[in-house]
Amino acid sequence: MTVALRQLDRRSAVVAREELADLLIGAVGNGASVGFLWPLDRVAVADYWRQVFASLCDDFFLWVAEVDERVVGAVQLARCTKQNGRHRAELQKLFVHSAYRGRGIAARLLAAAEAQAREIGCTLLVLDTEAGSPAESVYRHLGWRKSGEIPMYAGKPSGELIPTAYYYKLIGPAPSPLQLVRPAREHLESYVNALKTGWSQNNLRPEAGREALEEVEKDPDTFLALQIDREAKGGPVKMPNGGEVPRLPGYILWMWDGEFCGTIGFRWQPGTPELPPHTLGHIGYAVVPWKRQLGYAKRALALMLEHAREESLPHVEITCDTDNVASQRTIVANGGVLVERFTPPPICGPGEKLRYRIVMKA
Ligand SMILES: CC(C)(COP(=O)(O)OP(=O)(O)OC[C@H]1O[C@@H](n2cnc3c(N)ncnc32)[C@H](O)[C@@H]1OP(=O)(O)O)[C@@H](O)C(=O)NCCC(=O)NCCS
């Protein structure tokens, strides 16, 4: 079976109008939630395609997949026309005829749309689709990331309201590999922007984000200098229950991929791997929500363990909440072994924690 892909202009689209109408009617008849209710009026379908054809331009594209010169699939790409959204385009109405599914036609249509989006300078693709539909696994397989679902968003052809899933794919130049950087003036603007979203690097004290912002605004150089604090000059540490404890020697490095991605801190008591009971681990980290699930925490911890070797500790401990699966996986991926489930002192706030140990290799 040979599949040919063709981008249609207004004239060639009009020629394909009956086949496109059949494709759409077939999809809706099979229960696809693509904007129409069943039974579908052929006049409404013709009107829909007429509008699509009239919209074809430098910002709006339509492809068909053909087998033996018959249309068996289609997809549309709409570049955002708003001034501040020219970098993004939306994939719309991906259809593959039911008799031709499972043969890679959707992937080829999506690849054509993606190539066009890159060519016109877009760096972000977005789409929405019925949550739980087979299309979701196609998008995921092709590198799309899910950002969420909205319940009862659209109607099935039967009228039943169903949730819609939102996906995106970044197609711009790949960010540079994650590094740990010593916090410096050149990184400050990106860090401040992250704090201004309400993010806090301290997951036990959400207010720590606002406090950091105030400190940066008051005296950025002092703030930056105190991120590396091997002599524990920074004053007492505020705890989740409002109390304070003496600071340990330590430092905080920033995760950086061309932008600020998160923080990772290391603290210790000189000459011993022991920590005071209220100190929850030698290493703590947090990734900003929009850079999560990119492997950054895993890589940041691996990089931090290399720095930590310089303190000649036989092992380091990391603790996390019992339900923090992402952190547990991050630790285990770096050689962490679960030591115990424990209840920290009340000054650390409520809840049980897990304690992991990572043996430091020479
Ligand atoms: C925990 C945290 C740092 C993980 O950051 P991240 O950069 O998204 O993590 P990574 O992409 O490196 O993923 C690490 C592992 O966790 C898994 N993971 C990530 N997010 C997950 C999630 N929401 N649910 C389940 N697993 C998840 C990844 O698949 C990976 O595991 P794998 O190698 O077995 O596949 C981040 O969620 C965060 O900042 N949370 C708030 C602060 C926090 O909890 N810090 C840790 C305190 S102990």
The protein residue whose alpha carbon is closest to atom 5 in ligand 1 is 297
Q: Tell me, what's the pLDDT at 173? A: 76
92 lines ligand 1 (CB under 6 A): no
**190 with 86, same domain?**
no
What is residue 63's three-state secondary structure?
strand
- Which CATH number do you get for residue 305? 3.40.630.30
Q: Is the pLDDT of residue 219 over 90?
A: yes
**Residue identifier of the C-alpha nearest atom 48 of ligand 1:** 320
How far does the centroid of ligand 1 lie from the alpha carbon of residue 128, in Å? Answer: 25
- Same domain, residue pair 111 and 217: no
Q: Are strands 70-79 and 124-130 parallel, antiparallel or unpaired?
A: unpaired
Single pTM value for the model: 0.65
With a pLDDT cut of 90, the percent of the chain lying above it is 88
pLDDT at position 1: 83
Query: Which carries the bigger pLDDT value, residue 228 or residue 32?
Result: 228
Around Cβ 160, how many Cβ atoms within 10 Å?
11
pLDDT tens digits along 25-54: 999 999 888 889 999 999 999 999 999 999
Q: What is the pLDDT of residue 171?
A: 93
Is 166 inside any structural domain? no
147 belongs to a structural domain: no
pLDDT at 143: 87
Q: Residue 178: CB within 6 Å of ligand 1?
A: no
Do 347 and 246 share a structural domain? yes
Quick one: 111 and 221 in the same domain? no
pLDDT at 178 over 80: yes
Tell me, yes or no, whether 199 and 335 share the same domain: yes
Same domain, 305 and 190: yes
Q: Please report the sign of the dihedral spanned by the C-alpha atoms of residue 21, residue 28, residue 101, residue 168.
A: positive
For the cut 80, the answer to whether the pLDDT of residue 291 exceeds it is: yes
Could you tell me if 116 and 77 are in contact, meaning their C-beta atoms sit under 8 angstroms apart? Answer: yes
pLDDT at 361: 78
- Domain-located, residue 348: yes
Residues 197 and 298 in one domain: yes
Q: List Cβ neighbours of 198 (8 Å cut-off, separation of 6 or more).
A: 209
Nearest CA to ligand 1 atom 9: 297
Enclosing domain of residue 313: 179-359
Residue 24: pLDDT band (50, 70, 90) is very high
One domain, residues 255 and 337:
yes
| Final residue of a structural domain among 125, 143, 162 | 125
Mean pLDDT of the chain: 94
| Helix ranges restricted to H, the chain | 10-15, 17-29, 42-55, 105-119, 134-141, 185-196, 208-218, 220-225, 296-308, 325-333
Number of domains in the chain: 2
- Domain match, 240 and 328 both: yes
